[in-house]
Every structure is written in structure tokens, then in C-alpha cells.
Amino acid sequence: TLPSNCPQNRQPEKPNSLNFKLDVRMPGVTPLMSDSYFCTFVPVPSGQKSYIVDFKPHASMETVHHMLLFGCSKPATNEDYWDCGSSYATCLYEAKIMYAWARNAPPTQLPTDVGFRVGGNTGINYIVLQVHYGDITAFRDNHKDCSGVTLQMTFRQQPLIAGIYLLMSHDAVIPPGEKVVNADIACLYKQATIHPFAFRTHTHQLGQVVSGYRVRDGKWTLIGRQSPQMPQAFYHLEHPMDIKYGDTITARCVFTGKGRTTVTLIGGTSKDEMCNLYIMYYMDAKHAKPYAYCMQTGSPELFKQIPPEANIPIPV
Ligand code: IYT
Ligand code: CU
Ligand code: CU
């Protein structure tokens, strides 16, 4: 392929600086269909650990619907860019989400002294960028697109490590026509204290509201609540909090089966559904555990106590 004119920086800011910028941008692509999902990747420095401390999005507002960044041990392919929509093939193995940009959503900033750890022995050797091109009318002139993100990085060890706690349902069943269907997820937290500071919700068309709570001594405290029909970015928590050993982390997705004539299950296509709550947190680097998952169905007994606000759809 011809070289594109898209920025491909990988430069120290000044000579001998520990700080550098890394561009993850589309290599000059022209999507031919609306709702195309394209992925591309860049390697991170391999010899020594580095830290992502800031994200600067570059996206054409008229065409880009959303962008996601993942950390990978290996990307799904080594082409310049590839179609990563229907197959969801971003990474070859585990994909670790780190950032989301969505049109009309406020940008997410990492707090001071917080960084995502990559390279070295972290298992993250590449950053994969996924761009969802929504409406492609602006591509009628066949121009080439360089949307992406500039990562502000440093080799300087950060005292606080960023991470993601993902709650997801694997067994939700949404019967056709059913007005209200809940997918409940809950896990006992048994690691060192984390400090959530942002959250992202994800469902497909049928999701009405997704809420996350910390349950401590029977008391439910809101982590975040959002309509998944709003731009699916990471939103900052209204009230910062911590989650410590012995707390329970919970999420409820409220779906509606109205308008469907067949049962809807969890799956990868837009006809299927998903129930995801991503909690972005920081924690002391000494106890760093940057990724964790919760896939347990919450007990009906526990969810009798959920605050009623979790059942109120958010108008969009
Ligand atoms: C079945 C399901 O809910 N899939 C979600 C959550 C998920 C994310 C990652 C599952 C795995 C992952 O490695 I990262 I296994 C899902 O695919 N969510 C989409 C993106 O692919 C991240 C989303 O937009 O949240
Ligand atoms: Cu999108
Ligand atoms: Cu999905």
C-alpha cells in the first residue's frame, strides 16, 4: 500500500526526555459503506515498561461515530488496517479496553499521577484502534481519513496505575414483547482498594439504562448510571469513591423486548444484545491489578435491595 500522509509520530518531546508521543491513527482510509468498523495498530516500546498518561483524540465529527483503544499482546492481523466489525477481531487474544471516544461526549482525562502500564512484561505489546465510521456521505469525495488518538506517554514510573473492571452478562434472555427485562451482575471484590473515576456502559438497541453500585454493609452507593443509547464514552463519576476488599460490585442493565418478535440473547451482532459496565479506576502501583472481570449473575435476593432509580429509563 502507498504510504499515507497521516501522522505517525513516535518521538521524544525533547532530546533525552522520558516523555514521548505515540500516534495511533488510521493509515488514510476511505470507508465505502456506512457503519464500517476499521482497526489498525501500533507497537509500544518493547524493551521497557511505559505509561499512557493522556489521550488526545483526532476525529472527523461528520463521519466518526466512535473510537476505542485496546491493549493487546498481538493484534488480530498484521495488515495496515482491517475490517473489525462483525467479527470483533481486534486483538488475537485478550483485548484490554483503555479508552473510548464518542461523538458529542465529553473527553475522558486520567487523573494526575495515573497511567496505563504497557510494554515490558505487561503483556501489552500493541495498541489497537477501532474506528466506527457512521455516516459516510462526507467520503463522497474519496478523501483519506486519519482519525485516531495521540497517546501522551512516559517511561517515568507512575505511582498510580489505571485499570478497567468489566462487568458483563453472559446469560441474559430477552423474550419478545417483554416490556422490562433486567440483567443483573454481581461479584465480591477481593483485591486491593481501587478508586473508580470513570465508567462506560454498552448495550445494543434494547438497552434502556445501565447502573453500577458498590454494596458495602448492605448500603448501595452509585458508581454510575447512564443510558447506553447516549454516546458510549467513559463518563467521569459524579462522586469519587473507593472499592475495597469485601465490597460487592454490581450492575443492572434494563432492557425492553418491545418491538422484537423473537427472543434476544447475548451475542456479537447488532441483533443480539450485550450488557456491559466498564469501571475505569486507579490503584496503588504496588498492588496493581489493571484488568478484572465479573460475569456472575446477581442473586434476586441481593437485587431486591437495588435503589429504584436503577429501574428508571433515562430519556435520550
Ligand atoms: C459478550 C459481550 O458482552 N462482549 C462485550 C464485552 C467484552 C469486551 C471485551 C468482552 C470481552 C472483551 O475482551 I474488551 I471477552 C463487548 O464486546 N463489548 C464491546 C467491545 O467489543 C469492547 C463494547 O463496545 O463494549
Ligand atoms: Cu459507534
Ligand atoms: Cu456489543
d(Cα 112, Cα 110) in Å, to the nearest integer? 7
SS3 category, 241: coil
- pLDDT tens sequence across 279-315: 999 999 999 899 999 999 999 999 999 999 999 998 8
Q: Could you tell me if 27 and 81 are in contact, meaning their C-beta atoms sit under 8 angstroms apart?
A: yes
H-state helical runs in the chain: 300-303
pLDDT at position 143 is 93
Examine the pLDDT at 182 and tell me if it is beyond 90. Answer: yes
Please give the model's pTM, rounded to 2 decimal places: 0.95
Domains 10-158 and 162-311 agree in fold: yes
User: How do strand 276-284 and strand 64-72 relate by DSSP bridges?
Assistant: unpaired
Q: Atom 15 (ligand 1): residue with closest C-alpha?
A: 94
Please determine, for the modelled complex, whether the ipTM score is greater than 0.95.
yes
Q: Atom 10 (ligand 1): residue with closest C-alpha?
A: 168
CATH class, domain 162-311, is mainly beta
Examine the pLDDT at 2 and tell me if it is beyond 60. Answer: no
Examine the pLDDT at 86 and tell me if it is beyond 80. Answer: no
Examine the pLDDT at 22 and tell me if it is beyond 80. Answer: yes
Query: Ligand 3 centre and the CA of 274: distance in Å?
Result: 5
pLDDT at position 51 is 98
Pocket of ligand 1 contains residue 102 by CB under 6 Å: no
d(Cα 211, Cα 193) in Å, to the nearest integer? 21
Query: What are the residue ranges spanned by the domains of the chain?
Result: 10-158, 162-311
295 is catalytic: no
Query: Ligand 1 centre and the CA of 37: distance in Å?
Result: 15
Q: Could you tell me if 290 and 116 are in contact, meaning their C-beta atoms sit under 8 angstroms apart?
A: yes
Q: Tell me what the mean pLDDT of segment 9-35 comes to.
A: 88
Percentage above 90 pLDDT, the chain: 88
Q: Could you tell me if 26 and 63 are in contact, meaning their C-beta atoms sit under 8 angstroms apart?
A: no
- pLDDT tens sequence across 114-169: 999 999 999 999 999 999 999 999 999 999 999 999 999 999 999 999 999 999 99
**How many angstroms separate the Cα of 205 from the Cα of each of 33, 226, 230, 234, 275?**
20, 14, 11, 19, 11
Query: Is CATH 2.60.120.310 the classification given to domain 10-158?
Result: yes
Q: Which of 26, 58, 66, 226 is catalytic?
A: 66
What burial letters (b/e) apply to 103-132, b meaning 16+ CB within 10 Å?
bebeebebeeebbbbbbbebbbbbbbbbbb
d(Cα 316, Cα 309) in Å, to the nearest integer? 16
